[in-house]
Structure 1
């Protein structure tokens, strides 16, 4: 279940998405919320998007 981005916890692996009229468009890698925005969990690289929703990252559901 997608949650509003304003409720996202800090320092936890999350799946991020941007919602539009077609539904959620999710990133394919886990991210973490930090004081300055969002980073990729694995590399600590800044993620330059403005997500609208989040949910807990579930690795089994995100593998191709």
Structure 2
């Protein structure tokens, strides 16, 4: 009994944790910016323009 009790308990905790992460991500992700002190709000259509702007912000 001891061989399956701890893995089962750990898996249940893992499932609850993942469901919490998915819940938080689905409800709060549109309101969370990448940079919290950003002065401009930009919508990116492709990853290359996003990466270019990020690299320019670190220069």
Q: TM-score if structure 2 supplies the norm length?
A: 0.20
More helix by share: 2
More strand by share: 1
Q: TM-score if structure 1 supplies the norm length?
A: 0.19
- Structure having the higher Rg: 2
